[in-house]
Chains A and B, each alone.
Chain A
């Protein structure tokens, strides 16, 4: 395997700091760009994300045409805060209400395709503590400046906030290094060049995103990469170094559940591709144990591995976007 893609399609955010150029390119191509923030109880971080991005990339430089928040049923002040800053807020359940309802990040991202009008859609996690507008413009930059690039992922050094105002300088990415990278190395060595395949920040062209299925939950990033790679090739993907990202730390049990969902998505994909023949159906429950007063108690968490079909197959979507 050579590292040609890594050299050619890897960028640093500073390469896209000329925002006037990006706005000009966007105007030349007569396209719209949307930002979607999927949320679930993000009252601590959502206001800052909205304010900074709206101020810098809508008011100061008209790079973005809209920001939408799609929520999975927050019980904190997320909705109130979003509305206070004049941003469109949607409860995921209210979008395409005739379809069966599911809860999960992938569900929100999929439904964002129906709600937004952009030709490029940027997805950002809403828990970024050190949000900066580079998180958006650097993901959009390669799509605007390079014709071959249709999908761009972020990677970064990920310090973790460990409370009392202290930071641990490196960390995070445990699921990437312990689950995804070994799997990619086994089955798709070319994809190991993607430094952080599970990063929650990426941008893609609508033509691409509307044509791929979306797992409801955590598997969405893995499936996106595999599907885009399979259909359009690695050259359609780029990655950009956003340097530092500060986020909440998750405990090992939570990462275990995440890994379960990712493995399920991955196995599903390689089976479809005919790479592996799994003779028996896999189970849908992640089982973890807790020690309570010298006794081990199982804690089961159901992950069905459901997927939404490519949204272009949904009649309501075809009607809204006038697709014959």
Chain B
């Protein structure tokens, strides 16, 4: 695996020569609806496709994460994981039929994460095309129950039950090409729900309005003075409520996330928000329920960790400009377990998380070459002496 960097530019054209296979995999797996907790059909296709490639082992773990294993030449080296999530934000009845043009693919969830999955299940054929063998076993895993309320259960289970050490990991996200994530913020994801009880017969004219109550909660959270160091923020990501324009809202729900590179700070802010909610509940005489749906500890690799440095070199060789931000995904679980890992993006896109989400085809080939470069770096031992 020496001199793997030099080979990367030539890989791009070779990968492109099997573009129909890669695009087909992206489309066929992406068109299967896969909302969190309902990933069964997509997982089945994942397995079928890997079985068709006749890879050495194809199975599911105890949590029904589909996994394929390409046996390495060494037999002694720990495995390298390549992971992406199977679930999407879109519901079962959304039209998942993609539109393919000569330079793009458009449709719900294409960048998050059909392209990631399509590339993952194409890797055995890409390795074959590039005539690549690795010392380590390569474990290709599509993990279920990752996003939102899934709370990364699939990857948590996979790593918790994996019995041998893991050499390193690459997590794949569809977009944006150039991202390199090697640290995760601590995070608590919560929902606060306000329900105004209805009464039989005539409703009082001036009863509390669930939307206004949550508005007050938001205002009070915004008044919190968050520190610049440790870095911290509260993101209001989801809100819904009410029934009709002229009717006082009976119910409303707010979804938010607290993020910080300090777990202690996340807990402190959570505690403040809990107090705010208790206060508003008391003052407005309404019931407010706070529910935590997901949480993560902050974890990171050093900037000068050999894996981060190698990934940077791979990107430089391919003329990609690395951009790093915190990433709360499968990466967090690898890092929490002290397994060196990075998250990489495959291509460029637009209209993220919308029905007409679009990905560009051409940059994808560089994105794939970059992933292979990082796998080769791990296989050459960059994670071994830590």
Q: Spell out A's residues near B (CB within 8 Å).
A: 43-45, 47-48, 51-52, 54-56, 59-60, 77, 80-81, 84-85, 129-130, 132, 161, 164-167, 246
**Which residue of chain B has the shortest Cβ distance to A129 in the bound complex?**
B97
Asked if B280 is an interface residue, CB under 8 A from chain A, the answer is no
- Chain A: minimal CB distance from B203 (Å): 34
Q: B94 contacts which of A44, A165, A246 (Cβ < 8 Å)?
A: A165
User: Within B253-299, which residues are at the interface with A (CB < 8 Å)?
Assistant: none
What residues on B are CB-neighbors of A45 within 8 Å?
Answer: 99
Q: Can you give 19 contacting A-B residue pairs, CB < 8 Å? A: A45-B99, A47-B100, A48-B98, A48-B99, A51-B100, A52-B24, A52-B27, A52-B28, A59-B21, A60-B21, A60-B52, A129-B97, A132-B28, A164-B355, A165-B108, A165-B355, A166-B95, A167-B95, A246-B95
Q: B90 — nearest CB in chain A belongs to which residue?
A: A165
* A164 vs chain B, min Cβ distance (A): 8
Is there an interface contact between B27 and A48, defined as CB atoms closer than 8 Å?
yes
Docked Cα-Cα span, A164 to B97, in Å, equals 12
Inter-subunit contact B20/A55 (CB<8 Å) = yes
CB B16 to nearest CB in A, in angstroms, measures 12
Residues of A within 8 A of B102 (CB): 47, 77, 80-81, 84-85
- Could you tell me if B97 and A59 are in contact, using CB atoms closer than 8 angstroms? no
Contact present for B355 and A85 (CB under 8 Å): no
Report chain A residues within 8 Å CB of B94: 165
| Interchain nearest-CB distance for A186 vs B (Å) | 38
* A129 vs B99: C-alpha distance when bound (angstroms): 8
Query: From DSSP, what is the main secondary structure of chain B's interface residues?
Result: loop
Please determine whether B24 and A51 come into contact, CB atoms closer than 8 angstroms.
Answer: yes
How far is the CB of B42 from the nearest CB of chain A, in Å? Answer: 15
Question: Could you tell me if B95 and A56 are in contact, using CB atoms closer than 8 angstroms?
Answer: no
B93 interfacial by beta-carbon distance below 8 Å: yes
**In the complex, chain B residues whose CB is within 8 Å of the CB of A48:** 27, 98-100
Q: Is B238 among interface residues, defined by CB-CB distance under 8 A?
A: no
Smallest Cβ distance from A59 to chain B, in angstroms?
6
Whether B20 contacts A51 by the Cβ 8 Å rule is yes
B contact residues, total (Cβ < 8 Å): 20
With a CB–CB cut-off of 8 A, which chain A residues contact B20?
51, 54-55, 59, 85
Query: Nearest Cβ distance between residue A300 and chain B, in whole angstroms?
Result: 35
A-side contacts of B27, CB under 8 Å: 48, 51-52
Closest residue of chain B to A82, judged by CB? B102
Smallest beta-carbon distance A42→chain B, Å: 11
Query: Considering the chains assembled together, what is the distance between the CA atoms of A44 and B99 in angstroms?
Result: 6
A55 to chain B: which residues have CB within 8 Å?
Answer: 20-21, 23-24
Q: How far is the CB of A201 from chain B (nearest CB, A)?
A: 17
**B residues in contact with A85, CB < 8 Å:** 20, 102
Q: Give the chain B neighbours of A59 by CB distance below 8 A.
A: 18, 20-21
Residue of B nearest to A19 (CB): B52
Most buried by A among B97, B98, B99: B97
Instruction: Give chain B residues whose Cβ lies under 8 Å from the Cβ of A44.
Output: 99
Tell yes or no: B31 within 8 A of A by CB. yes
- Say yes or no: B95 contacts A161, CB within 8 Å: yes
- List chain B residues, Cβ under 8 A from A56: 24
- Min Cβ gap B17→A in Å is 11
Please, how many angstroms separate the alpha-carbon atoms of A10 and B21 in the complex?
Answer: 32
Q: Is B225 an interface residue (CB 8 A)?
A: no
From A47, A77, A81, residue with most partner B Cβ within 10 Å: A47
Q: Are A81 and B101 in contact (CB under 8 A)?
A: yes
A77–B93 alpha-carbon span in the complex (Å): 30
> What separation, in Å, do the CA atoms of A60 and B98 have in the docked complex?
22
> How far is B35's CA from A171's CA once the two chains are assembled, in angstroms?
26
Distance, CA A44 to CA B101, complexed state (A): 7
Contact with A along B24-36 (1 / 0, CB 8 A): 1001100100000
Flag if B52 contacts A43 (CB, 8 Å): no
Instruction: Kindly state the separation between the CA atoms of A22 and B125 in the bound complex, as whole angstroms.
Output: 22
CA of A54 to CA of B27 in the docked complex: distance in angstroms?
Answer: 14
B82 to chain A, nearest CB (A): 22
B77-134 interface with A by 8 A CB criterion: 93-95, 97-102, 108
| Bound complex: CA A277 to CA B92 (Å) | 54
Which chain B positions have C-beta within 8 A of A246? 95, 97
Pick from A47, A51, A165: contact of B95, CB under 8 Å: A165
Considering only CB atoms, which chain B residue lies closest to A44 in the complex?
A: B99
Known: A84-B102, A130-B31. A51 touches B97 (CB 8 A): no
Question: Chain A residues near B31 (CB, 8 Å)?
Answer: 130
Nearest CB of chain A from residue B32's CB, rounded to whole Å: 11
- Which 8 pairs, one residue from A and one from B, show the smallest C-beta to C-beta distance? A55-B24, A84-B102, A55-B20, A47-B100, A48-B100, A129-B97, A165-B95, A165-B355
Nearest CB on A from B231, distance (A)? 38
Contacting residues, chain B, for A130 (C-beta < 8 A): 31, 97
B99 and chain A: residue at smallest CB distance: A44
* In the complex, chain B residues whose CB is within 8 Å of the CB of A80: 102
Kindly report which residue of chain A lies nearest to residue B22, judged by CB atoms.
Answer: A55
Nearest B-chain residue to A169, judged by Cβ: B93
Least Cβ–Cβ distance between A48 and chain B, in angstroms? 4
Report the minimal beta-carbon distance from A236 to chain B, rounded to whole angstroms. Answer: 33
State the Cβ distance, A103 to closest chain B Cβ, in Å: 25
Q: How far is the CB of B369 from chain A (nearest CB, A)?
A: 20
A55 vs B94: C-alpha distance when bound (angstroms): 26
A45 to B105 Cα, complex, angstroms: 11
B65 to chain A, nearest CB (A): 25
CA distance A56 to B52 in the complex (A): 11
Query: How long is the Cα–Cα vector from A44 to B107 in the complex, in angstroms?
Result: 12
Given contacts A60-B52, A167-B93, 10 further A-B contacts (CB under 8 A): A48-B100, A51-B24, A52-B27, A52-B28, A85-B20, A129-B97, A132-B28, A164-B355, A165-B94, A166-B93
Q: How far is the CA of A84 from the CA of B23 in the complex (A)?
A: 14
Q: Which of A47, A165, A167 contacts B101 (CB 8 A)?
A: A47
User: What's the nearest-Cβ distance from chain B to residue A131, in Å?
Assistant: 9
Nearest-CB residue, chain A, relative to B31: A130
Residue of A nearest to B101 (CB): A47
Chain A residues with Cβ under 8 A from B99's Cβ? 44-45, 48
- Knowing A59-B21, A165-B94, A167-B93 are in contact, say whether A43-B101 is a contact too (CB < 8 A): yes
